[in-house]
Structure 1
């Protein structure tokens, strides 16, 4: 009788499809792709120097999670989201990311917390010198995901990443990407940005091992950003359903 281990096969290295998936995922998470952006599978294949097959496979995986739309004619687009859909996604993010913050306050090592503090300081520095830049978006994402990793829950991390794939093209509008405002107004927004205070509250809660305070800080960061985006980034469409278009 064969043993279970007899059925195993050597583990494969990361496939080309996985590499393309990771690249597109990072573009969605970082806000490099925006709502209504269209993707050419052929251009992607040429830029990544791969064949069309791994690109199609990666796009299909992202479409299955709702992060991309694929039309019957194989056109690929970053989907628009209605105001109600964005509100619903925000609620789920507050629950899951708040729980991750709560767990991080209980489980994170001292070095984890010190690292999160460093990332919070880096975010403030980048916001001061480059508000509305890709660097500011990256600094915010790095801080949040360091927190979620510190929760020590792979399953929760997987859920949060999926939510960010759908929200990333929109939520980064809160940091002023391509805001197109005068420099003086831009700096005013930067200095008073709500995330500064929420990140400070988060770091204090982590240091105090206060899970409830940590959950509140991250949930309020998400809620406030969502309210700002819904107030300034929505428009009416022909079907009278408000879409979020940063």
Structure 2
């Protein structure tokens, strides 16, 4: 009897069943860069991405860019246009509500899973990210949306990685891929309006995590996500959707 650890590939083509594992392809690198840019809010809602322009900026041919954009369209991070270009989806009320609901449900579970695994070193890192984010908002820089979105992403994913879930992390990444432009715009609106510190709910989340209070931690996360989306809803009360640079359209 063959041992369970002995794997045999049956069939006449078994020699072709597996192929050598190659290095990361150029298309993979282009995809990763565009994906990270979307997650970190480097593009606005309604931004049109043209293959030729992106290829020039990335100093590559059009083929890997076209393939990368196709993958991002299939992941709903981008949407196709009739002229073969793609764009970052417009921010509509339905899309906003759907993403907010999904993020609160799934990321709340990530916080609950992560809580027992977080250490004092983790809390120190989270606090420093918050300090850096507060400084960025205080400077009111032109690139505030990009800078604070990237810090916000670092904060959340430092927590989520502690959940140690290989199944849920890709789902969360997909939601953030679709939310990047929303978080970017929310940062700009907050900078214009002022009021409660943008990191207020982050500090509350850290406090709850340090106390090992899972219910308070999940509520603080929900408040944090809801606040960003509520800032956008305020603009949508005056128009059906928001596009490039957050301009409202009737």
Deviations 1:139-166 (A, max 9, x none): 2221122122122112211111111111
Range with greater deviation from structure 2 (45-54 or 59-68): 45-54
2:27–2:65 Cα contact (<8 Å) kept: yes
The runs of 5 or more residues in structure 2 that have no matched partner are: 1-5
1:176 counterpart SS class: helix
Tell me if 1:152 matches 2:164. yes
CA distance in 1, matches of 2:124, 2:190: 32
TM-score, normalised by the number of residues in structure 1: 0.85
Shift in Å at residue 137 of structure 1?
2.3
Contact 1:234 1:244 in 2 (8 A): no
CA-to-aligned-CA distance 1:72-110 (integer Å, 9 cap, x gap):
431211111320221111100111111111212122233
Give me the whole-angstrom Cα distance separating, in 2, the residues matched to 1:217 and 1:231: 21
Cross-structure match for 2:241: 243
Q: Which has the higher mean CA deviation after the structures are superposed, 164-173 or 117-126?
A: 117-126
Q: Does 1:55 align with 2:65?
A: yes
- Whether contact under 8 Å (1:102, 1:211) holds in the other structure is yes
Q: CA deviation at 1:111?
A: 2.4
How far off is 1:131 after superposition? 5.7
Change (3 A) 1:178 1:28: farther
Which residue in the other structure is 1:95 paired with?
A: 105
Task: Structure 1: give runs of 5+ residues left out of the alignment.
Answer: 237-241
What is the aligned-residue RMSD (CA, Å)?
2.4
> Of 147, 150, 153, which aligns to 1:135?
147
* Pick aligned residue for 2:25 from 15, 39, 49: 15
Determine whether 1:192 maps to 2:202: no
CA contact (8 A) 2:92 2:236 kept: no
Alignment partner of 1:174 is 2:172: no
Query: Does structure 1 residue 220 correspond to structure 2 residue 223?
Result: yes
Cα distance change of structure 1 residues 199 and 63 upon mapping to structure 2, 3 Å threshold: same
The equivalences for 1:225-236 within 5 A come to 225-233=228-236, 235-236=238-239
TM-score (norm 2): 0.83
Q: CA deviation at 1:200?
A: 1.0
The Cα of 1:213 is off from its aligned counterpart by 1.6
Instruction: Give matches, 1:65-104, under 5 Å.
Output: 65-104=75-114
Deviations along 1:22-61, whole A, 9 cap, x unmatched? 1111221122111111111011112212211111110001
Q: Which residue of 1 aligns with 2:3?
A: none
Aligned partners of 1:213 and 1:56: how far apart in 2?
Answer: 44
Q: How big is the shift at 1:206?
A: 1.5
